[in-house]
């Protein structure tokens, strides 16, 4: 493992002359980055304490698995603090993305993106990662993943473009083993003719982000720890929410205007036994991510902010929506002019990521309304991956901070608790899960504890070195020549968000 010291700050890309400066920066850094690319997994750090690890590099083997292109990263946390799952789509295509300086209008993807859904695991907060494994082979399209903090089951929903079916994969041991997959059963109401997963993580609604102490109105909804809450407060606590894209027959590809596209939510109130369509985004929205925010005083319902890719008539900035009923419906639609969304020769908009900083409150002064968005800052290029912080649930945003100044595109986020001080997310404690009988609840908790204990004995749980403070985990596409040269993971310490 090689460590390289980098400058604490990199210049922001704004197009024009700044783009030329970016290319010069890339040329001057070529020797450093080339030597790093020769390692299967390389690590670097800067003076802010931010560390970077390359997980998937185009054309280079990742423990025996090699694809010429890696795209669409997804990051989720396991049930044990320190456990992370970094997914990527491997594509067998001749050209994954155009060089940042290219004006070519040539097609960048082949007619089929036959490849595989890949996974690398970390048990130490992202300091080191397992070899890559293949979960699914096919013409992979969009996919999304979420952890159920009560049952400790990880859900992955992935669309195979060759069949247009959405398959559901599950793991009950933090991603060590997986089910073979089954089709998603989902009723799609008119006027929509199709629904497919977006790209990125889903969420599970917490209970502690509602000020009321009222318990869940649905006994199967409660959950504990992590995004599951503590068993009191929001009526929808424990609900699983997967970001999807709903379309009708006139929906199209990756550029232009798509008024037939709508972001949407697929939700489950019974820990994944059944799924139904929830909130629908505004016309022209597409891939989205949700973040639960602090509900108003005395509210018993879960509030969330929805950040959406903009395929509408006025592209160039993120769309958004809000929900005040746990994603059963969306409302409060708008365009957020503080958050750019690049429009390039090949693509309209971007898959960005949004997350809450901390829980309902923490020692760093964060609260349930402090959220973060990560995406490219350049309006005309997929470049200059930056971080915006909102203190008020997305109603206003501070100045952007640059995470990666070179070519960059899709990203995904997780807020990570310290591996040294955080307890394991609970196995049903605090009033969670199905409560059909005390004996079944006890058996479920016993099974859960036994599985986590086995993970720890076999090295599957986070213990020992690695991440030692709270912070943000970011997985993202980036590179020196194109935004798809590699997929990397960065850990951004909590102290960075107080600057």
Which tokens in the block code for residue 467? 């991440």
What gap in Å lies between CA 84 and CA 201, rounded to an integer? 12
- Cross-strand bridge partners of residue 42: none
What gap in Å lies between CA 228 and CA 245, rounded to an integer? 24
Helix, coil or strand: residue 62? strand
Which tokens in the block code for residue 160? 């195979």
Interior angle at CA 369, CA 366 and CA 370, nearest 5: 50
Over the chain (499 residues), the average pLDDT of each successive run of 10 is 31 37 37 33 66 91 79 96 94 79 48 80 94 90 94 94 86 96 92 93 95 43 41 86 89 71 97 97 94 93 96 93 98 96 90 85 62 95 94 94 94 87 46 35 45 41 60 95 94 80
Which tokens in the block code for residue 97? 């993305």
CA 493 to chain centre: 18
Residue linked to tokens 């993120």? 318
What global pTM score does this model have? 0.81
43: nearest Cα among 413, 477, 466, 499: 466
> Contact, 411 vs 474, CB < 8 A?
yes
204: nearest Cα among 381, 375, 77, 114: 77
Which residue segments constitute the domains of the chain, with CATH numbers given?
Answer: 3-498 (2.120.10.10)
Q: Which helix (H) or strand (E) holds 150?
A: none
What gap in Å lies between CA 496 and CA 245, rounded to an integer? 33
Which tokens in the block code for residue 340? 């750019």
What gap in Å lies between CA 7 and CA 114, rounded to an integer? 39
C-alpha neighbours within 13 Å on the C-beta side of residue 226: 30
- The 10s digit of each residue's pLDDT in 230-262 is 445 899 999 999 999 999 876 666 667 888 899
What gap in Å lies between CA 357 and CA 496, rounded to an integer? 11
What gap in Å lies between CA 246 and CA 262, rounded to an integer? 5
> Contact, 403 vs 411, CB < 8 A?
no
- The 10s digit of each residue's pLDDT in 369-402 is 999 999 999 999 999 999 999 999 999 999 999 9
- Specify the pLDDT at position 138: 85
- Cross-strand bridge partners of residue 62: 65
Which tokens in the block code for residue 141? 């399209």
DSSP code, position 26:
H
């Amino acid at each position: 493992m090689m460590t390289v010291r980098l400058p604490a700050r990199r210049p922001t890309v704004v197009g024009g002359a700044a783009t030329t400066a970016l290319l010069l920066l890339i040329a001057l850094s070529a020797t450093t980055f080339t030597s790093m690319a020769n390692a299967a997994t390389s690590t670097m750090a800067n003076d802010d304490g931010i560390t970077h690890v390359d997980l998937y590099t185009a054309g280079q083997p990742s423990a025996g698995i090699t694809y010429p292109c890696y795209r669409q990263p997804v990051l989720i946390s396991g049930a044990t603090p320190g456990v992370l799952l970094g997914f990527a789509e491997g594509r067998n295509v001749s050209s994954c993305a155009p060089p940042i300086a290219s004006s070519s209008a040539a097609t960048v993807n082949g007619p089929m993106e036959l490849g595989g859904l890949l996974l690398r695991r970390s048990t130490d907060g992202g300091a080191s990662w397992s070899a890559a494994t293949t979960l699914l082979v096919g013409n992979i399209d969009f996919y999304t993943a979420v952890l159920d903090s009560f049952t400790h089951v990880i859900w992955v929903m992935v669309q195979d473009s060759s069949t247009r079916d959405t398959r559901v994969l599950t793991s009950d041991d933090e991603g060590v083993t997986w089910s073979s997959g089954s089709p998603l059963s989902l009723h799609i109401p008119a006027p929509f003719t199709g629904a497919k997963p977006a790209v990125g993580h889903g969420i599970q609604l917490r209970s502690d982000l509602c000020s009321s102490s009222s318990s869940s109105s649905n006994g199967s909804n409660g959950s504990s720890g992590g995004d599951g809450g503590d068993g009191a407060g929001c009526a929808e606590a424990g609900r699983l929410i997967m970001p999807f894209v709903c379309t009708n027959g006139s929906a199209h590809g990756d550029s232009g205007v798509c008024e037939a596209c709508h972001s949407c939510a697929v939700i489950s109130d019974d820990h994944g036994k059944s799924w139904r369509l929830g909130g629908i985004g505004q016309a022209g929205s597409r891939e989205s991510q949700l973040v639960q925010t602090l509900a108003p005083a005395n509210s018993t319902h879960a509030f969330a902010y929805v950040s959406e890719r903009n395929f509408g008539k006025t592209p160039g900035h993120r769309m958004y929506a809000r929900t005040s009923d746990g994603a059963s419906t969306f409302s409060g639609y708008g365009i957020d002019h503080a958050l750019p969304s690049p429009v390039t020769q090949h693509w309209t908009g971007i898959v960005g990521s949004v997350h809450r900083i901390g829980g309902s409150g923490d020692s760093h002064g964060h609260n349930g309304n402090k959220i973060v968005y990560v995406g490219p800052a350049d309006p005309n290029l997929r470049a200059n991956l930056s971080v915006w912080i909102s203190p008020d649930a997305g109603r206003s945003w501070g100045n952007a901070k640059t995470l990666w100044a070179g070519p960059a595109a899709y990203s995904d986020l997780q807020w990570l608790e310290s591996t040294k001080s955080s307890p394991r997310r609970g196995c049903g404690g605090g009033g969670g899960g199905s409560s059909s009988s005390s004996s079944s609840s006890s058996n479920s908790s016993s099974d859960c504890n036994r599985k986590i204990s086995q993970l720890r004995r076999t090295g599957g749980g986070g213990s020992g070195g690695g991440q030692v403070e709270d912070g943000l985990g970011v997985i993202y596409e980036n590179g020196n020549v194109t935004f798809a040269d590699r997929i990397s993971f960065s850990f951004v310490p909590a102290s960075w968000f107080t600057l």
